[in-house]
Structure 1
Amino acid sequence: MTRTPPWARWAVPLVLVLVWLGIGGTLGPFAGRLGEVATNDQAAFLPRGAESTRVLEARKAFEPSASLPAVVVWTADSGRVSTAQQQAASAALSALTGRPGIGSAPSPALLSEDGEAIEAVVPLAPDLGKELPRVLDEVRRAAGQVPGTAVRIAGPAATQEDLFSAFSGIDGILLGVALGAVLLILLLVYRSVLLPLVIIISAVFALGLACATVYALADQDLVRVDGQVQGILSILVIGAATDYALLLAARFREELAARGDRLEAVLAAVRRSAGAIVASAATVALGLLALLAGDLTNNRALGPVGAVGILCAVLTTLTFLPAALALLGRSAYWPAAPGPAGTGADADAGEKGRGVWPRVAAVIGRAPRRVWLSTALLLLVLAAFSPGLSSRGVPLDEIFVNDAPSVGAQQTLARHFPAGSGTPAVIIADAGQAAAVQETARGTAGVAGVRPVTAGGRPGTEPLVVDGRIRLDATLDAPTDSDAAKETVQRLRERLHALPGADALVGGYTAQQYDTQVTAARDRTVIVPVVLGIILLILAGLLRSVLVPVLLVATVGLNFLATLGVSALLFRHVLGFSGTDASVPLYGFVFLVALGVDYNIFLMSRVREEALRHGTREGVLRGLVTTGGVITSAGVVLAATFAALMVIPLAFLVQIAFIVAFGVLLDTLVVRSLLVPALVVDIGPRAWWPSALAGRDA
């Protein structure tokens, strides 16, 4: 028998490390380039087939070119606007016509009824991208030429500029905060120098590969990326790659202590942990891909992007990390290296020790029913507050956590003009029913005024007719992002749809918000069952059981509702949010349920392994003691990475960050540590039905 040369045993891990160093060096810069293919134009993420989406397409025929409106509002220092100031405002903006970035001629300056403010709309080119701040600065300079006035800019263009500012530097800031938090936690928990660095490097390689893949897909217009998806991708990849790495590293430590030979130990670690890692990754990836079943485009955008990130995290965990651990051996854990072979596995040492997890296992072993009943009751009490979390959308003045110029400008506009000024409801209807449509719209409660779009934009002329259709702009009384404005849009649609022969459609900003809210609710009813079905199938295949998967899904579902209950209390009474974005509950569900099942997969796959040797009761307690430390560390790391999203001053990301971070900690410390083990111990071998384990003694 030919003996393998020593150099050959190290060739594969060495080559793998070198290959990943090349990949990291080549693709790493893409982690900072996703902004080049990202869009923060919310019109690109409207529901497919919704009425407001159809209006967005139809209104193009009535505009020389698509535009992004910037609403300029002047307030007089003296309190009253003079005729000279109004004329100066119109002249200042008319000078912008034809300049780069200006879509068409600005509207004339209009005086408010109270005589204290002037308003005008400057249509900007819709595809300015990073040029938007420069063009708006030019508008500000022109508008600032009106003496004795203060100038503010509101409307969609100003909101996009503030979004651009919020997401500027997202790659560097978010990545630095997340990686810094992970590194600090790993150093404190493992008291090792090299292992945290190796895990961080593995996560960074995964992120570079994921970002390069998503960049290529977005560049070919196969996926859409905005700042929110971009931020979530970074956090998801770092958190998932770290979680999977911790599970593999912990198993390698056990095998190294038991076997001594680093190559045998790493092969055994990969063999015994790969099933749980792949199943966990499949749960999250397929859960994210289930978002493709939805109709809301930004939900569909996150699905494939997140799935790509998860696949890259698994790839680095099962290739680069084992190779690096094989080369480092015991030194990876220095100065807390495993003992030499023959001193006993870490699991045995943990079971005999006086650590936290042996004590937790002892409590569960003595009174499992009392433990699971008390923890379930706690979660049910918290879940009772979940109906208080409103997901009808976030008002404009709550979109940004910090004060934003566009919010202050909109509030100034609303004080002097109808609150919907500058962003009217857009009505497209049959030209033959123009008079009836205009009269019906004007008579609808909540509509302040109706104006037909005319040729050349000149008031008092005949409505512009394109292919037998007309367009009317209806200014609403209520702020365009308010519930009252959405109710007005509903009334407009009901009344106009009932007009014979009008074939009317109602769109515009408020209608887009309303359609997004309705579509998000519809998406939840479709996607939630799909995600639960996917998770049940994966768990059933991994654990070869029916009852245990049902119990696990029920517990993570209860954890999700409890998290929503806590969020409802915190958002309203501490952070001052009146509600959440329509997509927040769905994102929270997908992340919490999929990631929550992750930790239960890590636990129950080890429990099943131990139960095959020691029976169900002893298998649960041994599995809890063995995996308790690593799963808790993984949960803390994942919570910290998602909490890093709070550095971006947007309500949507702050809400997602809290829901996922708190929910992961609640799942890790309560559901996985107490509720699930106690339930399985109390049920006994029957929990494994219909597998052969169900017939064994506990």
Structure 2
Amino acid sequence: MFGFLGNAVARFWPIVLAAWSLLLALSWAFAPDWNAVTAGGEVASLPEDSPSRRSEQLFREAFPDEYAGSNIVLVVARQGKELQEQDKKFIEQVLAPRLKQATAGAGDGKSIVARIRTPTEQATEILLGSEDRQAALVVIELTTSFMDPRNDPVVAAVEDVVGRLREEKGIPAGLALEVTGIATAGRDLIQAELQSVRAIERWTVVIVVALLVVLYRAPLMALIPLLTVFVAVQIALQVLALLAGAGILPLDREMRIFITVLAYGAGVDYCLFLIARYREELEGGAAPRQAVAAAIAHVGGAITASAATVICGIGTLAAARFAKVHQAGIVVPFALVIVLCGALTFCAALLRLTGRWAFWPQRLAAPAGGGSSTPDLPRRLVAQHVLPNVWEKLGPALLRWPGVIWSAAVAALVPFVVVAVLHYHDQIYNPISELPPDVPSQAATRTLEQHFPPGITGPLVVLLKSAWIDFSDEKNLEAVARLTNRLLAHQDELEIADIHSVAAPLGTSPAAKETLGFFPVSPQLFPAAARQRAIQYYVSHSGDWKQHLTHLDVVLRVDPFSREALSALDRIEDALRADLPESELAFVGATASARDLATVKHADQRRAEILVPIVVFVLLLLVLGRVTISIYLVLSVLFSYCATLGVTLAVFGLSHWGGYEGLDWKVPIFLFTILVAVGEDYNIFLVTRIKEEVGRHGPLQGITEALARTGRVISSCGFIMAGTFATLLSGSLLAMQELGFALAFGVLLDTLVVRPILVPAFLILLQSGRLGRLGQRQALEPEEVPPGAGGVRKGRRMSSECG
């Protein structure tokens, strides 16, 4: 098949170039803007049947006028002093009217502002004022989710009001006015994502070009892979945007980052392996047309097999239930398929176009027996290898001490594997934590947390359903009061700062106790009008559970997204179920969504940890035909993954000493899938070459010969792949930085330790019979070399490697 493809490309290369150019032009002409057809947000990616998503729907039906998907919060505070009367007048007479006017006209179409709550009355002052009386909140509740693009004009309008007040000096002296809230943080997160995408795409191109030029020092040699991957990636992105715009394939904005980084890293690798074999064929005496055809015929299968490992490995993520992970399992393999096709056709056509000039100013080696010529000084300087061929020296050492070298390499990495195992579940599920600390919403949040509990902007909403209890009946309010008091009795254990309910509409804070003059909660002491207002707000008056559903708003002492909050939610649920065995419970809010995210992610992680190794093992078995070697290759990359995870935890833990809770939840699952798949990618190239060299040099010498021949080219590809992953560090989001470091380190670990040491050492032990009967049964058999397979002649090293 690859022989036919090679001949076709070599013969009809102008048609191939024209076809790819036409596809690129059409995709650019008809595809919509990526940002216009993609969405973002972790909660929106949860399965529809997750408990928090179902609870949100129930809340909307039961309280259609009360549901707020997100909010903008203005913090009004004085440092070290209580708010003054002029501050309250400023909020009531200046700030609130301007906010209503500005938000009413923000955006297009229907307003997304549900209500604006201000601390201008006694009741709202208790709810929105701080315990130290030094701060108050103005809350703008929105009907949209926290990363909905429709929030942007409203947030901008609010920030504009604050900015104008500062310019006009309309804020009382000494009064701080800052903007935060989850909608504001969501806007900042979207902007950070877009900035990260632009930075990563820019640095990916820069780093790939720089590495290609430094490693190969031939302009066209650098341009050909880059142009190939650029065209393929652009076509993939535009086709995906078309599918998203048509409603066929929902897409997350972050998918562009994964596609760009993986496609550039893998695509350049595929091109370089093809170019390396093309150069061998030229140096073996073939003309450019025959060299292109032979290169595709000889390495097309290996490139496709290694690509299939990456594509199928990452494709297992399509089985995930979390939408963002599920999408990655579809769109990344789709892009890699296009890149693979580009490498085997567009790149080959460019080689056919440029001929021997692809390697200028380097001089190709003369064919064996074809005489020799002395290159001029500039060509000699360019022809010097950047990477010293340490693999020629490593081979004899491995032949002499395979067990010792293998044991030393493993022993050096074991401590990091232990770190990974001990801290494997130290993960965070807070999307806001990805933001840089200097963005405005984060600075305002720090001010807010000086005066209020962290859970104030995202209370945990507990829905109580009972077919036997009419919560609108005043005589049943005492049951809710007793439940509220029982929760307060364990306030410290449950991390509860305050509770608002139909029995305690003003909450249970010291300010509420002081205003009411009594405690514990006792609704019978409320005025009748106050009880009716509480019933109107906290008891459902629509939907299937009319009057039989009420909600409690629980303000936590800890960050609603933190692991402490998730643990507190579990304890609160246990306590409520013990008290209300016959009632149904549901939970809404950031903490409930984060818990569902953790549950779904753990299930997806377990699924990936099973499926990816199985798929990779099956592909290895098909390519190599040896069970033992296939199992070992899978175990070697799993070991590399654990070591990489341990190093990443250590590095980021030390760099955020005292305030580091763990890796972002996306890092382990994407790191596992990508590193296992990409690691086997390089192993396939090495082992297939070993099979070829064993036929020429014998069972042991063939291993070291293959290592020496492929050392520079595979290592160069590893450095380029690591460089593309390292571009993730240029983004401003912490999760991207963690993943970028982990992937870059993992690829380098595979390039410098697993592939040149752990794999050859094991194969030497196996082939030499030191593993007993296992070696006799599972040793590699030589691959039959086709007659006239040009390129590498006995005794000549792969001259195309890095130079």
TM-score by shorter chain over 0.5: yes
Distance 1:477 1:429, change over 3 A: same
Contact kept? 2:429, 2:594, Cα under 8 Å: no
Paired with 1:667 and 1:9, the residues of 2 have a C-alpha distance of 33
Is 1:472 the counterpart of 2:555? The answer is no
1:356 to 387, 390, 398: 390
Is 1:210 the counterpart of 2:244? The answer is no
* 1:682 counterpart letter in structure 2: L
Paired with 1:692 and 1:477, the residues of 2 have a C-alpha distance of 62
Tell me the CA shift for residue 72 of structure 1: 1.8
Deviates more, 1:105-114 or 1:455-464: 455-464
Q: How many pairs were matched up?
A: 685
Tell me the CA shift for residue 646 of structure 1: 1.2
Paired with 1:103 and 1:310, the residues of 2 have a C-alpha distance of 43
Is 1:529 the counterpart of 2:610? The answer is yes
**Map of 1:15 onto structure 2:** 15
**Map of 2:338 onto structure 1:** 312
Paired with 1:87 and 1:390, the residues of 2 have a C-alpha distance of 50
Paired with 1:688 and 1:299, the residues of 2 have a C-alpha distance of 43
In structure 2, the gaps of 5 or more residues are 1-6, 120-127, 372-382, 472-476, 488-493, 506-528, 769-773, 785-803
Paired with 1:494 and 1:554, the residues of 2 have a C-alpha distance of 41
Tell me the CA shift for residue 294 of structure 1: 2.4
Paired with 2:148 and 2:603, the residues of 1 have a C-alpha distance of 31
Contact kept? 2:10, 2:348, Cα under 8 Å: no
What are the within-5 Å matches in structure 2 for residues 442-481 of structure 1? Answer: 443-444=486-487, 445-452=494-501, 460-462=534-536, 463-465=538-540, 466=542, 467-468=544-545, 469-481=549-561
Distance 1:243 1:695, change over 3 A: closer
Distance 1:497 1:259, change over 3 A: farther
**Map of 2:426 onto structure 1:** 391
Distance 1:141 1:324, change over 3 A: closer
* 2:154 counterpart letter in structure 1: V
Tell me the CA shift for residue 78 of structure 1: 7.4
Paired with 1:442 and 1:33, the residues of 2 have a C-alpha distance of 54
Is 1:104 the counterpart of 2:118? The answer is no
What are the within-5 Å matches in structure 2 for residues 100-179 of structure 1? Answer: 100=106, 101-109=111-119, 110-126=128-144, 129-142=148-161, 144=165, 147-148=172-173, 149-179=175-205
* 2:497 counterpart letter in structure 1: A
Distance 1:552 1:410, change over 3 A: same
Q: Deviation string for 1:411-458 (max 9, x for gaps)?
A: 222221222102111222216275445643563332223334899999
Is 1:608 the counterpart of 2:694? The answer is no
Distance 1:596 1:152, change over 3 A: same
**Map of 2:51 onto structure 1:** 51
**Map of 1:93 onto structure 2:** 96
Distance 1:357 1:571, change over 3 A: same
Tell me the CA shift for residue 221 of structure 1: 3.6
TM-score (norm 1): 0.91
* 2:611 counterpart letter in structure 1: V
Contact kept? 2:430, 2:594, Cα under 8 Å: no
Q: Deviation string for 1:468-506 (max 9, x for gaps)?
A: 133332211222122322222112222333413321111
In structure 1, the gaps of 5 or more residues are 1-6
Tell me the CA shift for residue 594 of structure 1: 0.7
Contact kept? 1:437, 1:502, Cα under 8 Å: no
SS at match of 1:428: strand
Q: Deviation string for 1:592-627 (max 9, x for gaps)?
A: 111111110111111112223433212211211111
Tell me the CA shift for residue 365 of structure 1: 2.3
SS at match of 1:470: strand
**Map of 2:512 onto structure 1:** none
**Map of 1:3 onto structure 2:** none
Distance 1:629 1:383, change over 3 A: same
What are the within-5 Å matches in structure 2 for residues 628-647 of structure 1? Answer: 628-647=711-730
Is 1:518 the counterpart of 2:606? The answer is no
Paired with 1:401 and 1:537, the residues of 2 have a C-alpha distance of 42
Is 1:293 the counterpart of 2:293? The answer is no
Paired with 1:184 and 1:365, the residues of 2 have a C-alpha distance of 36
Deviates more, 1:653-662 or 1:69-78: 69-78
Distance 1:690 1:366, change over 3 A: closer
TM-score (norm 2): 0.80
Tell me the CA shift for residue 642 of structure 1: 0.8
Is 1:508 the counterpart of 2:589? The answer is yes
* 1:574 counterpart letter in structure 2: S
Paired with 2:748 and 2:211, the residues of 1 have a C-alpha distance of 14
Q: Deviation string for 1:263-292 (max 9, x for gaps)?
A: 221111112212221122221222222112
1:190 to 191, 213, 216: 216
SS at match of 1:338: coil
Distance 1:640 1:443, change over 3 A: farther
Deviates more, 1:142-151 or 1:367-376: 142-151
RMSD: 3.1
Is 1:219 the counterpart of 2:219? The answer is no
What are the within-5 Å matches in structure 2 for residues 316-355 of structure 1? Answer: 316-342=342-368, 355=389
Deviates more, 1:91-100 or 1:399-408: 91-100
Distance 1:570 1:618, change over 3 A: same
How much identity, in percent, do the aligned residues show? 28
Is 1:232 the counterpart of 2:277? The answer is no
Contact kept? 1:295, 1:523, Cα under 8 Å: yes
Is 1:494 the counterpart of 2:569? The answer is no
Q: Deviation string for 1:556-578 (max 9, x for gaps)?
A: 11111111111121011124433
Q: Deviation string for 1:641-662 (max 9, x for gaps)?
A: 1111111111110010011000
* 1:446 counterpart letter in structure 2: E
**Map of 2:800 onto structure 1:** none
**Map of 1:4 onto structure 2:** none
Paired with 1:666 and 1:456, the residues of 2 have a C-alpha distance of 67
Tell me the CA shift for residue 684 of structure 1: 0.4
Deviates more, 1:116-125 or 1:78-87: 78-87
Is 1:33 the counterpart of 2:52? The answer is no
